[in-house]
Structure 1
Amino acid sequence: MALKDAFGLTYSGATEAGFPSYARAIRELQCFIGDPVAAIDRAIADDPGFVMAHVFKGYLFGLATEREATAVARTCHEAAAPLAGTTREQAHVAALGHLAGGRWHEAARIVEDIAIDNPLDALALQVGHQIDFFTGNARMLRDRIGRALPAWQRGMPGYHAILGMQAFGLEEMGDYARAESFGRQAVEIEPRDGWAQHAVAHVMEMQSRQRDGIAWMRANPEAWTKDSFLKIHNWWHLALFHYDLGEIDEVLRLYDGPIYGDRSTLALNMVDASAILWRLNLGAVDVGDRWAVLAANWAPKAAAGNYAFNDAHAMMAFVGAGLGEPAGDLLEAQREAMRGHDDNAAFTRDVGHPLTLAVKAFGEGSYTDTVRLIRPIRSIAHRFGGSHAQRDVIDLTLIEAALRSGDGPLARALTAERALARPDSPLSALFSRRAADLSEN
């Protein structure tokens, strides 16, 4: 038994009972709202042989970057593998198998081929886009969507999501004007599209348009926060604008409220919390017991060693809270991860481990070691995932370490570099003044 959707794509094992729940899950994922896991569980309950329902659930958990979630993804793959499916669906099953096995790049290639043959397969596009983000592949963030874009047109279900993804890909490739245009069009079509909202925020962050960014995020927060599982990350973007302006009280207010007021234990949310507190730490801001609370939630994940980007942010919390034992567990987990054969072995070896060591060294006041560890990885930091805005914390740490180590020439070079890239940033100006003062002393 099979159904076809509005795009003519076949769904083996689906019936009129289960397909509406699958369609709901797709829409919720495209907007980052609601509970797509609950929706897809209903689809599976109604249609146990619905192969793409199992695949969809597996993708959700496989992209969570949590060890426990990856185990669920593997279970979903086991459920999907024996089910009947079209060539397209069988390719999705194979992609899920690779993702659940930690082979991110191979999964990305398979869903790339699916979308080449089926440019209206919105799930293939979105899963590929998310993998591109988690692997730091800026070109594919743009081109994966760009290839399919001619097949889409306004009025199609989910068109806003295609525009929003294209916006983010253009931004990561530095095409800011077109990125902002695509993102604004997406939000105009669907105000609840949190990914498109965030793509425009990225543009303004990279262009140091702090006041524009604050206005953009505060114009209609109800739209991008209501029932959104991307809202914490979008609040994080708002906090970045205030941080760059030196408005620390507002940053802390956002942290204590929508960013980490509920003390989430999800890695994706704790990454944002660590990233904010570490930036404040670089500026010698006393954050009270916030580090201790966050580090306590990171501690159970210290030995996970399954995604290097998370490891670096967990170490920030352990350093901030002065917790040596989980910091040691994390480093040992990384050493074990580097002996593995999945993609995270390379993520950790190339970027994650040296960066995590650099964060630890910074916390110990070993600023020269921090500089030594970070300089070789700056140009390849994209390999362990994240966006330009997220990886900016690496440059911020390097600059602060250079200043604190008293290396005047390096500090001047780095602050000149940042002033050129972000000429309208008050933070850039502050760094430049400090480097100049260091040279005079």
Structure 2
Amino acid sequence: MAHHDRRGLPLSTRSDRAAERYREGVDLLLAAWPGAADALDAAIVADPDFALAHAARARLHAMRTEPAAARACIATAAACVARAGTERERSHVAVLSLAIDGQPGPALARALAHAESWPRDALILSLPLGAFGLLAFSGRADHDQARVDLCERHARSYEADDWWFTTYRGWSHTENGAVARGRALAERGFSLRRENANGAHALSHALFEDGAGPEAETLIAGWLPGYDRSGILHGHIAWHAALSALERDDPDAALAIYAEHVRPGVTAGLPLNVITDTVSLLWRLRAYGHAVPDGLWDEVRAYSGPYFGHAGFGFADAHMGLLAAATGDRAAAQARIDALTGLVEAGTLAAGPVVPAICRAALAFADGDYAACARILEPVAGQVVRIGGSGAQREVIEDTLLLALMRCGETARARALLDRRLHRRPSPRDARWQAQLTA
């Protein structure tokens, strides 16, 4: 009997069990739900020559920042698909091989081409999408629009009840500013499959951008207990609730969420999420004038030690720059700035000059030189989008600029920035700051 994946594409395996466990494993992977590894391992046991099961396992290792295991699995997949595989499966493995091999540009180009021929290959279509996808980290200033365009181009290939596609389509519209449409799609996607961390995540973003922080907190408080702590997005979704607590000026609630779900040692999140979530939340706390309890910054610095030591990954670099500035590690901050500047001069830093500028501005802000911070950051503010991530994540940079303008007496420029932000997204925090400026 011929076997197919969840969306009707043929699978080169004769094993009923391998096909069944593969479908389950990919569902769990796309939902960021625990159990994907066990399901895919079972598929491999049932059919050791099943190339796509090895490829999906490689993708899961890559997501968890396990590069050696990812490379080993994708090499096995390539060997298997060379012996017995369809054109679609060979292309599928080739795309993942490029991504795992650290070639994001060619991987993106190959993924987009693959989607033209096989748009229902969700695992490959997922690679350009999301806050940490190939488009987000491409260095393009238009990556939000590019994700919308990609989803709309292939929407006709997906049924209205496809929970994965509906979720990512909604998230893409939300991030591109069509918040009402994005929220409606995210709500529908989440309703189709509640055991879907990416669905809860997409809806949390939509509520944030819609100025509905208390709704996001209620959603997360009710949903998170059913998501095992081993889930890779557990801590990050809790971070969204902490962010909302800060929005309504409740630092104690934010710190309680941080302590229970977000801090290193209590979360099983991806290192990139752990570092960026902890750094951005603690930076916000301090920048907003709240006390950061003793030891929290040191804990983050100790955790970050093995990760992102080399400059060149703009989203991580920006947060490592904030971390160095906040902890007074001027040597580390300057070393990263110098390395990033060299990459910019060589034309090899995807996100470009905005990345070292963020790091320099963070040092100035931490030193209390708010005029210098604003002078560095304001000219590149429109390019911050190039570092990738989401609007909620990047807002920490805009907050830094806004507070620097307020504190160096540039009231008119600060008010103009606040007006633009409030027009884009209702925020009780921004409303408080606006009241301060007009008092």
TM-score bracket for this pair, using the shorter chain length: 0.7 to 0.9
- Which whole-Å CA distance do the structure 2 matches of 1:34 and 1:146 have between them? 29
- Which whole-Å CA distance do the structure 1 matches of 2:432 and 2:313 have between them? 34
Matched, 1:254 2:257: yes
- Note the 1:347-366 alignment, pairs <5 A: 347=351, 349-366=352-369
Deviation at residue 170 of structure 1 after TM alignment: 1.3
Q: Quickly say closer, same or farther: Cα 1:214–1:17, change in 2 above 3 A.
A: closer
Match of 1:143 in 2: 149
- Which whole-Å CA distance do the structure 1 matches of 2:160 and 2:243 have between them? 33
Asked if 2 retains the 8 angstrom alpha-carbon contact of 1:306 and 1:337, the reply is yes
Matched, 1:322 2:328: yes
- Note the 1:232-251 alignment, pairs <5 A: 232-251=235-254
- Which whole-Å CA distance do the structure 1 matches of 2:382 and 2:92 have between them? 33
- Which whole-Å CA distance do the structure 2 matches of 1:303 and 1:340 have between them? 19
Matched AA of 2:435: R
- Which whole-Å CA distance do the structure 1 matches of 2:40 and 2:403 have between them? 46
**What runs of 5+ residues in structure 1 fail to find an aligned partner?**
none
Number of residue-to-residue matches in the alignment:
427
Deviation at residue 333 of structure 1 after TM alignment: 4.8
Match of 1:279 in 2: 284
- Structure 1 residues 340-387: Cα deviation after superposition (integer angstroms, max 9, x where no partner): 786xx222x343222122212211223223222222322222222111
Matched AA of 1:79: T
Query: What is the TM-score when the length of structure 2 is the normalising length?
Result: 0.87
Q: Quickly say closer, same or farther: Cα 1:149–1:417, change in 2 above 3 A.
A: closer
**Alignment root-mean-square deviation, CA:** 2.8
- Which whole-Å CA distance do the structure 2 matches of 1:408 and 1:87 have between them? 60
Deviation at residue 235 of structure 1 after TM alignment: 0.8
Asked if 1 retains the 8 angstrom alpha-carbon contact of 2:405 and 2:414, the reply is yes
**What runs of 5+ residues in structure 2 fail to find an aligned partner?**
none
- Structure 1 residues 113-170: Cα deviation after superposition (integer angstroms, max 9, x where no partner): 2222223212122223242344472123223233333233356xxx211111111011
Q: Quickly say closer, same or farther: Cα 1:34–1:367, change in 2 above 3 A.
A: same
- Structure 1 residues 267-310: Cα deviation after superposition (integer angstroms, max 9, x where no partner): 22221111111111111211122111111111232523352211
Query: What is the TM-score when the length of structure 1 is the normalising length?
Result: 0.87
Q: Quickly say closer, same or farther: Cα 1:387–1:14, change in 2 above 3 A.
A: farther
Matched AA of 1:12: S
Deviation at residue 225 of structure 1 after TM alignment: 5.3
- Which whole-Å CA distance do the structure 1 matches of 2:156 and 2:182 have between them? 17
Matched, 1:117 2:121: no
Asked if 2 retains the 8 angstrom alpha-carbon contact of 1:263 and 1:294, the reply is no
Q: Secondary structure at the match of 1:33?
A: coil
- Which whole-Å CA distance do the structure 2 matches of 1:196 and 1:133 have between them? 18
Q: Quickly say closer, same or farther: Cα 1:259–1:94, change in 2 above 3 A.
A: same
- Which whole-Å CA distance do the structure 1 matches of 2:57 and 2:113 have between them? 21
Asked if 2 retains the 8 angstrom alpha-carbon contact of 1:191 and 1:224, the reply is no
More moved, 211-220 vs 305-314: 211-220
Match of 1:432 in 2: 434
Q: Quickly say closer, same or farther: Cα 1:336–1:98, change in 2 above 3 A.
A: farther
Asked if 1 retains the 8 angstrom alpha-carbon contact of 2:160 and 2:166, the reply is no
Q: Quickly say closer, same or farther: Cα 1:208–1:173, change in 2 above 3 A.
A: same
Asked if 2 retains the 8 angstrom alpha-carbon contact of 1:367 and 1:404, the reply is yes
Matched AA of 2:431: A
Q: Quickly say closer, same or farther: Cα 1:120–1:28, change in 2 above 3 A.
A: same
- Alignment partner for residue 305 of structure 2, among 263, 287, 299? 299
Asked if 2 retains the 8 angstrom alpha-carbon contact of 1:55 and 1:76, the reply is yes
Asked if 2 retains the 8 angstrom alpha-carbon contact of 1:312 and 1:356, the reply is yes
- Structure 1 residues 203-243: Cα deviation after superposition (integer angstroms, max 9, x where no partner): 22112222222233234333455653212111111112111
Match of 1:126 in 2: 126
Asked if 2 retains the 8 angstrom alpha-carbon contact of 1:351 and 1:381, the reply is yes
Asked if 2 retains the 8 angstrom alpha-carbon contact of 1:217 and 1:238, the reply is yes
Matched AA of 1:116: E
- Note the 1:8-407 alignment, pairs <5 A: 8-12=8-12, 15-63=15-63, 66=65, 69-82=66-79, 83-84=81-82, 85-130=85-130, 131=133, 132-135=135-138, 137-153=143-159, 159-224=162-227, 227-260=230-263, 262-264=265-267, 266-288=271-293, 289-335=295-341, 337-338=343-344, 345-347=349-351, 349-407=352-410
Asked if 2 retains the 8 angstrom alpha-carbon contact of 1:204 and 1:210, the reply is yes
Q: Quickly say closer, same or farther: Cα 1:113–1:393, change in 2 above 3 A.
A: same
More moved, 208-217 vs 252-261: 208-217
- Which whole-Å CA distance do the structure 1 matches of 2:26 and 2:207 have between them? 29
Deviation at residue 334 of structure 1 after TM alignment: 3.3
More moved, 237-246 vs 361-370: 361-370
More moved, 286-295 vs 296-305: 296-305
More moved, 391-400 vs 349-358: 349-358
- Which whole-Å CA distance do the structure 2 matches of 1:42 and 1:323 have between them? 47
- Which whole-Å CA distance do the structure 2 matches of 1:249 and 1:274 have between them? 17
Matched AA of 1:432: Q
More moved, 318-327 vs 198-207: 318-327
Deviation at residue 408 of structure 1 after TM alignment: 3.0
Q: Secondary structure at the match of 1:286?
A: coil
- Which whole-Å CA distance do the structure 2 matches of 1:298 and 1:6 have between them? 38
